[in-house]
């Protein structure tokens, strides 16, 4: 294609990405995510089929409340994260795909699920993936609760995880609904967790279908991205179905899959 046509295509796709992003910011989940997801995103190179990505290194990006939303790793890196599990159907399916492609990921577990399916927690760790505390009750209003409640939510989930994998570390905390705040982040840090947000949210929890999830992640991609997926909390078959194509597209574009800096 001519350079003029290619430029027009790039402009068009960038516009679509902006519109899709604006639509996401209108959702309750994204609204709860607030600044962590919306303001930490650097305008990085867009990943487009057939278009080389920029070699721009990501800036380790941590907001004023101490929430990390980019990988903090040099080069064209991307971190895949999976929330609300483990789940007896979708977590094994995700693990199979990650194993097939030799991709590392971060799993943000809720306490009762870790307690109910400790074998899945052990499988996650045995495959070399990294754990993240996603609280006991997934209370999206956690920043407004008293200190004792916050301690119970994070401490309880950590206990449930460590009951399954006593030797493991849990380097990250992810706020329910992305509702990060300084008071909860302080508790998270006291437990050894780095608060971990994200920079790309394909809204897979709304079950838009595998092709929408795939296209959204690929057109939004930038170096240092942290991608929010879900392997629990509902029907995640679309997420599972989208995953191989996403991994292949990113790898073809030169992306390296990483665990974020703690």
Beta bridge partners of 218: none
Of the listed 129, 134, 138, 230, which one is catalytic? 230
Q: Enter the tokens of residue 44.
A: 């990085």
Is 83 in the active site?
yes
Interface residue with Zn ion among 21, 34, 72, 84 (CB under 5 A) is 84
201 counts as binding Zn ion under rule CB under 5 A: no
Residue 151 tokens, joined: 């301690």
Beta-bridged to residue 94, according to DSSP, are: none
> Phi and psi for 68 in degrees, rounded to 5?
-85, 130
Cα separation, 37 vs 174, whole angstroms: 12
Judged by beta carbon, residue 47 or residue 124, the one nearer Zn ion is 124
* H helix or E strand, kind and range, residue 150: helix 147-164
Q: How far is the CB of 109 from Zn ion (least distance, A)?
A: 10
Check 40, 83, 84, 231 and give the catalytic one.
Answer: 83
Q: Which residue is nearest to Zn ion (CB)?
A: 83
Tell me if 204 contacts Zn ion by CB under 5 A.
no
Q: How far is CA 220 from the centre of its chain?
A: 13
- Closest approach, Cβ 191 to Zn ion, in A, equals 18
Q: Which is nearer to Zn ion, 138 or 222 (CB)?
A: 138
Q: Is 139 in the site for Zn ion (CB under 5 A)?
A: no
Radius of gyration of the chain (CA): 18
- Dihedral (C-alpha) 255, 133, 83, 107: value to the nearest 10 degrees? 40
The residue count for binding Zn ion (CB under 5 A) is: 2
Q: Tell me which of 83, 139, 153, 231 binds Zn ion, using CB under 5 A.
A: 83
Which range binds Zn ion by CB under 5 A, 51-59, 83-91, 120-128, 151-159?
A: 83-91
Between 17 and 132, name the residue whose CB sits nearer to Zn ion.
Answer: 132
Q: Does residue number 153 form part of the binding site for Zn ion (CB under 5 A)?
A: no
230 is catalytic: yes
Distances (CA, A) of 109 to 162, 173, 230, 248, 257: 11, 9, 10, 26, 20
Task: Say how many CA atoms lie within 13 Å of 129 toward its Cβ.
Answer: 30
Catalytic residues: 83, 230
Residues that bind Zn ion (CB under 5 A): 83-84
């Amino acid at each position: 294609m001519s350079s003029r046509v290619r430029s027009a295509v790039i402009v068009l796709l960038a516009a679509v990405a902006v519109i899709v992003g604006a639509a996401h910011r209108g959702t309750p989940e994204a609204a709860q995510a607030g600044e962590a997801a919306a303001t930490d995103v650097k305008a990085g190179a867009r990943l487009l089929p057939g278009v080389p990505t920029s070699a721009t290194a990501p800036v380790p990006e941590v907001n004023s409340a101490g929430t990390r939303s980019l990988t903090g790793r040099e080069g064209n890196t991307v971190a895949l994260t999976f929330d609300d599990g483990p789940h007896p159907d979708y977590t094994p399916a995700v693990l199979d795909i990650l194993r097939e492609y030799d991709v590392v990921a971060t799993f943000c577990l809720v306490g009762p699920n870790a307690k109910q399916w400790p074998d899945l927690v052990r499988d996650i760790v045995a495959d070399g993936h990294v754990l993240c505390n996603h609280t006991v009750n997934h209370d999206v209003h956690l920043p407004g609760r008293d200190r004792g409640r916050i301690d119970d939510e994070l401490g309880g989930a950590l206990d449930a995880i460590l009951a399954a994998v006593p030797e493991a570390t849990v380097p990250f905390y992810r706020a329910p609904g992305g509702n990060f705040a300084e008071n909860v982040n302080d508790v998270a840090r006291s437990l050894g967790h780095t608060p971990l947000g994200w920079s790309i949210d394909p809204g897979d929890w709304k079950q838009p279908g595998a092709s929408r999830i795939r296209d959204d992640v690929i057109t939004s991609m930038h170096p240092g991205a942290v991608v929010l997926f879900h392997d629990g909390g509902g029907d995640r078959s679309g997420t599972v179905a989208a995953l191989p194509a996403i991994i292949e597209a990113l790898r073809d574009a030169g992306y390296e899959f990483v665990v974020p800096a703690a």
